[in-house]
Amino acid sequence: KTVPEKILWQRSVEMRDRQQAWQDSPDGRRMLEFRRSLPAYIQKEAILSVVSKNQVVIISGETGCGKTTQIPQFILESEVESVCGAACNIICTQPRRISAMSVSERIASERGEKLGESVGYKVRLEGMKGKDTHLLFCTTGILLRRLLADGNLKGVTHVIVDEIHERGMNEDFMLIILKELLPRRPELKLILMSATLDAELFSSYFDGAPAVKIPGFTYPVRTHFLEEILEMTDYRLTPYNQIDDYGQERMWKMNKQAPRKRKSQIASAVEDAIKSADFKDYNPQTQESLSCWNPDSIGFNLIEYILYHICENEKPGAVLVFMTGWDDISSLKEKLLTHTVLGDPNRVLLLTCHGSMGSSEQRLIFEEPEDGVRKIVLATNIAETSITINDVVFVLDCGKAKETSYDALNNTPCLLPTWISKVSAKQRRGRAGRVQPGECYHLYPRCVYDAFAEYQLPEILRTPLQSLCLQIKSLRLGSISDFLSRALQSPEILAVQNAIEYLKIIGALDENENLTILGRYLTMLPMEPKLGKMLILGAIFNCLDPILTVVAGLSVRDPFLTPLDKKDLAEAAKSQFCGAYSDHLALVSAYEGWKDAEMDMVGYEYCWKNFLSLQSMKAIDALRGEFICLLRDIGLIDSNATSCNSWSSDVNLIRAVICYGLYPGICSVVHNEKSFSLKTMEDGQVLLYSNSVNARETKIPYPWLVFNEKIKVNSVFLRDSTAVSDSVVLLFGGSLLKGDADNHLKMLGGYLEFFMEPTVAETYRSIRRELDDLIQS
């Protein structure tokens, strides 16, 4: 044997001996027994044999059957047995950082090891990996970055892509790259794992790769849709606290003695909502007509009621509540903690489960509560397939999820909750039947369920492709359209063209589709390009502080609250932040006011008085911190960022930076006698959402509004706008690339005849060139 082989062999023997010793100990024996009880373990030999005979294998099985924790271990163990264990190098990707961390910790404890011995993890900015680590869990983003550094994945023997059914953009993207890598690395194994999976689609994408299905078992689950839940509600609700939580949610007291026949206020509100919603022409792709049925506003009370009902009347067993996101989870938790039964720690153990929870909180989720205490877990759809809580018997399903969830930055609640698919609803229901027959409460009517799409559309087909296109360019993967045409399901050509066109307009790509310097910086900021642009320019122009707030504000739920019964008061409170003809600047002054109040320890009162959401304020605060770290990482600001704020009070400069980011989201302001109307180039007349500060003005002393988003309902509505002047649009709208100035002028020409005058245009061009040089340098 050559020396290195001998060393490898020795290490493998040591690894095997260590495992043997652990498995002979009492704890180890118990753990092994548990592992052997999992359905995946029963298929161990079959799985290993398929993996050894094929380059690509697709494995599916019920959630909780042991795919994530067992299959990577089987491979590791069999490699160790076959003497070359120390040479194997398994990478397993997870769509979320939290699962990469929790799964690796779980496997280490199954093996009686510490994290960082044979099992480790790596996520952005964090990791635990040692020289003996042969099984590494990481996020998809980390493996993509590794592929960038080394296109052949040298030294890696197995790639396992987990949770493939989620069909996130990053995963679909990575599959294209991996598929092209396979012929170059014939000895590399690729294993795709999923709970519910369209095995045929994946199999044909990988030239007929074999699919293994792990048979599972779940107990029957009784299902209640909203209609049945309302039938059950022999309760009447009486408001006991008129002063509500910033007017968001009224608190209610349950009165069990209420006469049976009397419908609760919630029940009739729900009925009205069902009646008024038109589900017949529901379009699963746009989810359009369903949007008028919105369970969010009544959901909290209903959930509180059902939880209370379960605690009072039902058999023991944990409850899992599926909610849309962290913000909802924490408001509901706050509300439940004030409830006499649900907030009583002697009766209820109230836990949360979401992407940003800490590891001690994570461990609690898996533990059994004390006798007589009921565990209630408020979770995001992370508990749908990636985390399995063992003792769940009751499931509450709100029917919605926030789409997309990769890293902390993309995971922000700027993504609106949308209806889940039938497959997801089934998956959620199944969580109740793991240990005994269970019950599932769907908080929506059956007709809504019937209208759900069968599967969720893959992200690549439903979201804008701008960031993805930038990534393709930064990985030097050639022409964007060619590359995307090789995807599992390719996005529409038009969608791709739109994205490329947009990136050209904002100056991230040049005429030949190459990354510009700006584009390169944007690829380093994991957020929408327009937000990245604002941060970059904010740093360059020394006005980062307000821009951090603007960008963070665009990523969280609108902090200005308008409770229906206190509309006037809320509007009056908001008007003190107006005056700059800008929703973005209104938010900046609200945030700054809150910061000052926080210093004086009265942040809560400040929010309460001004109808602001404390949670949004806190979320903005946290995001600002993350953005600063990112900007530091890529070297746009130095470690003491104070130098970036000397121009922070120059409102017009801030307008310019906002315009730089939001362009081409722009409309012109046309004044008439009494008020004004708005026009965009593509849509003609557009309207403002009524909660915009500009909607309450009768005159806007600027010719343009830049806006963050437009939404087509019946008319086109603009959300979040800022008024800007001609010169700002000319100098900061569009790309600042050499040569593009003329294009930009042409685009605006229809509006801006005045500026087409030769001398003015020439002056503009020269200023623009100077700005361009500044930014490119």
Q: Which residues bind Mg ion (CB under 5 A)?
A: 68
Upstream peptide bond of 4 is cis (omega within 30 degrees of 0): no
Stretch that binds ligand ADP, among 66-74, 233-241, 491-499, 669-677 (CB under 6 A): 66-74
- Min dist. Cβ of residue 168 to ligand ADP (A): 17
Counting every residue written for the chain, the total comes to 777
Nearer to Mg ion, 76 or 723 (CB): 76
Does 366 help bind ligand ADP (rule: CB under 6 A)? yes
Cα 74 from Cα 44, distance rounded (Å): 7
Nearer to ligand ADP, 52 or 390 (CB): 390
- Min dist. Cβ of residue 769 to Mg ion (A): 55
Stretch that binds ligand ADP, among 60-68, 353-361, 370-378, 628-636 (CB under 6 A): 60-68
- Min dist. Cβ of residue 166 to ligand ADP (A): 13
Stretch that binds ligand ADP, among 62-70, 533-541, 565-573, 730-738 (CB under 6 A): 62-70
Phi, psi of 139 (to 5 degrees): -80, 160
317 binds, among Mg ion, ligand ADP, none (CB under 5 to 8 A by kind): none
Binding mask 11-50 for ligand ADP (x = CB under 6 A): ---------------------------x------------
Cα 596 from Cα 614, distance rounded (Å): 14
Of 93-132, which residues contact ligand ADP (CB under 6 A)?
Answer: 102, 106
Assign residue 729 a region (left: φ > 0; alpha: ψ between -120 and 50; beta: otherwise). alpha
- Min dist. Cβ of residue 427 to Mg ion (A): 12
Cα 244 from Cα 217, distance rounded (Å): 45
- Does residue 322 sit in helix, strand or coil? strand
537 binds, among Mg ion, ligand ADP, none (CB under 5 to 8 A by kind): none
Q: Which long-range contacts (CB under 8 A, 24 or more apart) does 287-291 make?
A: 287/418, 287/419, 290/419, 290/448, 290/451
Q: Tell me 260's DSSP state.
A: T
Q: Tell me 507's DSSP state.
A: T
- Min dist. Cβ of residue 4 to ligand ADP (A): 34
Does 381 help bind ligand ADP (rule: CB under 6 A)? no
Phi, psi of 223 (to 5 degrees): -110, 135
Does 69 help bind ligand ADP (rule: CB under 6 A)? yes
Q: Tell me 87's DSSP state.
A: G
Nearer to ligand ADP, 70 or 133 (CB): 70
Upstream peptide bond of 491 is cis (omega within 30 degrees of 0): no
Nearer to ligand ADP, 65 or 480 (CB): 65
Cα 134 from Cα 590, distance rounded (Å): 51
Nearer to ligand ADP, 97 or 744 (CB): 97
- Min dist. Cβ of residue 93 to ligand ADP (A): 13
Nearer to ligand ADP, 69 or 694 (CB): 69
Asked if 386 contacts 362 with a C-beta cutoff of 8 angstroms, the reply is no
Nearer to Mg ion, 165 or 185 (CB): 165
- Min dist. Cβ of residue 200 to Mg ion (A): 21
390 binds, among ligand ADP, Mg ion, none (CB under 5 to 8 A by kind): ligand ADP
Nearer to ligand ADP, 64 or 430 (CB): 64
What would the two tokens of residue 166 be? 């989620």
- Min dist. Cβ of residue 386 to Mg ion (A): 6
Asked if 89 contacts 98 with a C-beta cutoff of 8 angstroms, the reply is no
Comparing CA positions, the residue from 531, 536, 497 lying closest to residue 517 is 536
Cα 117 from Cα 100, distance rounded (Å): 16
Cα 84 from Cα 15, distance rounded (Å): 11
Stretch that binds ligand ADP, among 68-76, 279-287, 538-546, 573-581 (CB under 6 A): 68-76
Looking only at Cα atoms, what is the longest distance across the chain?
Answer: 93
Q: Could you give the C-alpha distances from 483 to 31, 142, 161, 512, 765, in angstroms and in order?
A: 46, 20, 20, 16, 36
- Min dist. Cβ of residue 383 to ligand ADP (A): 11
Among 12, 19, 63, 157, binds ligand ADP (CB under 6 A): 63
Q: Tell me 515's DSSP state.
A: B
Comparing CA positions, the residue from 313, 235, 310, 312 lying closest to residue 321 is 310
Residues in contact with ligand ADP, total (CB under 6 A)?
A: 15
Of 385-424, which residues contact ligand ADP (CB under 6 A)?
Answer: 388, 390
Stretch that binds ligand ADP, among 57-65, 644-652, 655-663, 682-690 (CB under 6 A): 57-65
Asked if 118 contacts 14 with a C-beta cutoff of 8 angstroms, the reply is no
65 binds, among Mg ion, ligand ADP, none (CB under 5 to 8 A by kind): ligand ADP
Phi, psi of 497 (to 5 degrees): -60, -40
- Min dist. Cβ of residue 89 to Mg ion (A): 21
Residues interacting with ligand ADP, by CB under 6 A? 38, 61, 63-70, 102, 106, 366, 388, 390
